[in-house]
A and B are shown apart, each in its own frame.
Chain A
Amino acid sequence: MTQPERSASAAGEARVVALVSSGRHPVSGRAGRAREDARAVEMGLALAGASLHLAHAGDAEDAALPEYLGMFHGLEGAGGPGELSLLPMAAGDDAVPLLANWLEAYGANLVLTGQRAECGEGSGLLPYLLAERLGWAVATGVAAIEHYAGDRVTVLQALPQGQRRRLEVRLPCLLCVDGVAPMPRQSAFGPSRRGRVEAVANVTAEPDTLQAAWQWQPARARPKRLKVVKSTNARDRFKAAAAKSAASGGQVLTDLTPDEAAQKLIDYLRAEKVLPAVQPGEDGQPSA
């Protein structure tokens, strides 16, 4: 894995924070690290080493916290134990003002977190609310940090179909780490015991009033959409119900020489914008 470049001066003053949340195993439902948050911690460890600071707003007894602290191993230089700041609050409280105040007091300038929590509301709104409140920049879908120096960080953003886009984000900023980021390292027992959890004093959480009106229920399977044919004609309805979706009836070209076939294929791919269009300079014909 490539390490992100960073200039020496910036690395000294870097205050990189990873916001972590409790997760659930997708199959067993066991409490542990959240998948995207673990990737955010991994990205922070690759960037800042042991100086990465973790923050969590919630319960001190959460089983996920030691697992995040157990990731502080195998680091270059003096790898100290992990540190986590805990902002105590109950499950129904609003985490945004707590985290915003704490981030401002701590002086963080790069905050990493997952895109969406696995427990609770899980709306993915928290980074945006924090950024709006603090006036920071926010970028989502971060797959890698390429360069970190001065007042800017260069990241790769994951797009659909495995594509990537390079973004330059002004510091201080929040980065939401995507699920395609590098795999997180395993959590080890020793570092998890040595890591420190410090509860931040003088924090009063306020209950989330909007949430009180909601009804929570176990997730239901989403119904599959039925193909409804609105036609007054029984024949059309029958044909639509009995039609094979696969048999679309495309264009079939026969009796072509390989060169003609290749030309047709290239024309088709260009028309569908799979291949780039012909540049003005080249004529697309073989040079020989």
Chain B
Amino acid sequence: MSVRRLDPHAERARRNRLHPRHLEFARPAWRWTSADGVTRINPHALGAIGPNGIKRIDRSGASVEAAAAGGPQASAEPSRRQVTIDTPTAYVAVVPELPEGRLSDHDRDLLGLARQLAEARGGAEAGVAVVAVAFQAEVAGLEEAGADRRIDLSSRVDADSYAPEARLAALAAVETALAPAHWIFADDFPGGGDLGRRLAARLALAGDAAARAATRVWQLSEGQTLSRAGDRQDIQRDVARVLLALPECAEPVSDTRHAATLLDLDASAGDASAAPGVIDRGRVAVDPQQIPLAQAPFILSAGRGVSDWDGYHHAAKVLGASEGASRVAVDDGYMPRARQVGATGTFVSASCYVAVGISGAVQHLQGITKCQRVVAINSDPSCDMVKRADFAIIGDGDAVLAAVCAQLGQPQPESGDSRHEEVRHDAA
């Protein structure tokens, strides 16, 4: 039997950092395993003496990150588990919206909800597959979003035009071929909300009483769905066959990767033979200034840095953008109050927001948090708007806007010219 023997002098010198022989006895490692098998940590041995002579303890792992070059990418994105289903026995169908041909956040939520429903039915072990039904050919990211199979209906339906009856016929063909346990749509008009209700009505009239859709589903808990009814009530009910779900109805898939194999359907089945009741006659040109500012897709916004207001209005017309303004421009009387963007004005949700001569006050940045792309034109490279922007140009806003109009072939008429025209107009 071995007896642990301690040198009391050495222990004292080790404990007392002010002991003149402390360094002799200090343990070099800050963490060691004691004789009892217990991990011991010496907090005094942690860290390093910084350049100013003060000891610093870096628990952030920065030195580790600096040491391993390829490390951060691997750690930021944990590896996903591959899930493959060879022969599916049942299906959960999802019809993603695919705005601009890409999976949106809402679509990922729908696929996450479908995964939850598939897991409730036994998951991959039982052969329950999530199938994404797309009206477009090339959809990226379905593997990570959680689709085991995908169906491409682009050969039957024109993806660009609005043909709800043709789409419904294509979905009915999928229904006869696969008979999915659930259909999941995005509940927004006039996309999935329209199509899902059409399919639910078709299935309900065909005798499937359980096909009555659950609309505005926002949560799945304990095998039941919660859906918003009217304005002030929720309905808790068993999971319906057709679900029309709101955004954030479920967590998107994050830890598995799926196959998204293309499923071939019989091309001849279920053709839309009857004359369509709804015919798409194309988009209608909308005056951008008539669109409510909160909904406008493209906003050209002006602030204190703009001095040529005629040129700014002309540029908005040439670019086809709605006009917005910062608080300063409104207070100075150059723009109406209804055009003010920000916390005290309108919260905008443009897909592209161009800020000319706006330095980016906190209230203004709050108003544009929902904008997807922000372009800043500013003479100050250090302002907050340039930091926020996805694309920033350092320069004079008036000159850049004038050059944009010139390059698009519609330069602003000289002020003298316009006055001449006015005179002629009055004379006529």
Chain A residues engaging chain B, CB cutoff 8 angstroms: 24, 26, 29, 115, 117-125, 128-129, 131-133, 136-141, 154, 156-170, 173, 178, 210, 213-220, 222, 225, 230-236, 238, 246-248, 250-256, 258-259, 261-266, 268-269, 272-275, 282, 284-287
The answer to whether B296 touches A162 (Cβ under 8 A) is: yes
Q: Determine the residue in chain B with the shortest Cβ distance to A154.
A: B281
The docked-state distance in angstroms from the alpha carbon of A95 to that of B275 is: 29
Interface pairs (21), CB distance under 8 Å? A121-B229, A123-B214, A124-B197, A128-B200, A140-B190, A141-B189, A158-B189, A162-B286, A165-B282, A166-B283, A213-B238, A214-B236, A215-B236, A230-B78, A233-B75, A235-B65, A253-B391, A265-B400, A269-B375, A285-B407, A286-B411
CA distance A266 to B393 in the complex (A): 12
B170-219 with Cβ < 8 A to chain A: 188-190, 193-194, 197-198, 200-202, 204-205, 209-210, 212-216, 218-219
Give the residue of A133, A215, A222, A253 whose beta carbon is less than 8 angstroms from that of B218. A222
Given contacts A129-B204, A285-B407, contact A234 B377 (CB under 8 A): no
Is B62 an interface position by the 8 A CB rule?
A: yes
Q: How many A-B residue pairs have CB under 8 A?
A: 260
- Given A121-B229, A225-B248: A139 in contact with B278 (beta carbons within 8 A): yes
A247 touches B277 (CB 8 A): no
Residues on B with C-beta less than 8 A from A266 are 404, 407-408
Q: Is residue B255 within 8 Å, beta carbon to beta carbon, of the partner chain?
A: yes
| Secondary structure of the B contact surface, majority rule | mixed
Q: Are A215 and B235 in contact (CB under 8 A)?
A: yes
B-chain residues with CB within 8 Å of residue A115 when the two chains form the complex:
189
B248 touches A259 (CB 8 A): no
Of the candidates A139, A230, A259, which one forms a contact with B255 in the assembled complex, judged by CB atoms under 8 Å apart? A230
What does the 1/0 interface line of B226-255 toward A look like (CB < 8 Å)?
A: 111111111111100000001010010011
Question: Does the CB pair B201–A129 fall under 8 Å?
Answer: yes
B343 contacts the other chain (CB 8 A): no
* CB closest residue in chain A, given B292: A162
Shortest distance in angstroms between A227's beta carbon and chain B's nearest beta carbon? 11
Question: Please, what's the 1-or-0 string for B341-358, where 1 marks a CB less than 8 Å from any CB in chain A?
Answer: 000000000011000000
B407–A263 CB distance below 8 A: yes
Q: Name which of B45-53, B113-121, B382-390 contacts chain A.
A: B382-390
User: Among the listed B61, B280, B407, which residue makes an inter-chain contact with A234, where contact means beta carbons less than 8 Å apart?
Assistant: B61
Looking at the complex, which one of B298, B388, B392, B399 makes contact with A247 (CB distance below 8 Å)? B388
- In the complex, whether B406 has a CB less than 8 A from a CB of chain A is yes
Q: A210 to chain B: which residues have CB within 8 Å?
A: 209-210, 212
Min CB–CB distance A217 → chain B (angstroms): 5
Q: Please provide the chain B residues from 55 to 98 with a CB less than 8 Å away from any CB of chain A in the complex.
A: 59-62, 64-65, 72, 75-76, 78
Knowing that A120-B230, A158-B189, A258-B399 touch, tell me 12 more A-B residue pairs with CB under 8 angstroms: A124-B193, A159-B190, A215-B236, A216-B229, A231-B76, A233-B61, A250-B374, A252-B386, A252-B394, A265-B393, A273-B100, A274-B298
A262 touches B394 (CB 8 A): no
Cα–Cα distance between A161 and B230 once the two chains are bound (Å):
24
B403 at the interface (CB under 8 A from A): yes
Measured between alpha carbons, how far is A232 from B72 in the docked complex, in Å?
11
Task: State whether the Cβ of B284 lies closer than 8 Å to any Cβ in chain A.
Answer: yes
Q: Residues 289-316 of chain B: 1 if any A CB is under 8 Å from the residue's CB, otherwise 0?
A: 0111001111000000000000000000
Q: A202 CB to closest chain B CB, in angstroms?
A: 24
Which B residues lie within 8 Å of A158 (CB)? Answer: 189-190
Our pick among B227, B232, B282, B404 for the contact of A218 (Cβ within 8 Å) is B232
Question: Does B373 lie at the interface of the complex (its beta carbon under 8 Å from any beta carbon of A)?
Answer: yes
CB distance from B416 to the nearest CB of A (A): 17
Which residues of B have CB within 8 Å of A261? 377, 393, 395, 400, 403
Contact check: which of B209, B226, B281 meets A168 at CB < 8 Å?
B281
Chain A residues whose C-beta falls within 8 Å of the C-beta of B352 in the assembled complex: 269, 272, 274
> Are the C-beta atoms of A215 and B237 separated by less than 8 Å?
yes
Q: Evaluate contact between B231 and A219: CB separation under 8 angstroms.
A: yes
* B402 within 8 A of partner (CB): yes
Q: Is B334 an interface residue (CB 8 A)?
A: no
Nearest residue, chain A, Cβ from B75: A233
3 A-B pairs closest in CB distance = A137-B277, A162-B291, A262-B403
Q: What residues on A are CB-neighbors of B152 within 8 Å? A: none
Residue contact B209 to A178, C-beta cutoff 8 Å: no
A122 to B214, CA, bound (A): 10
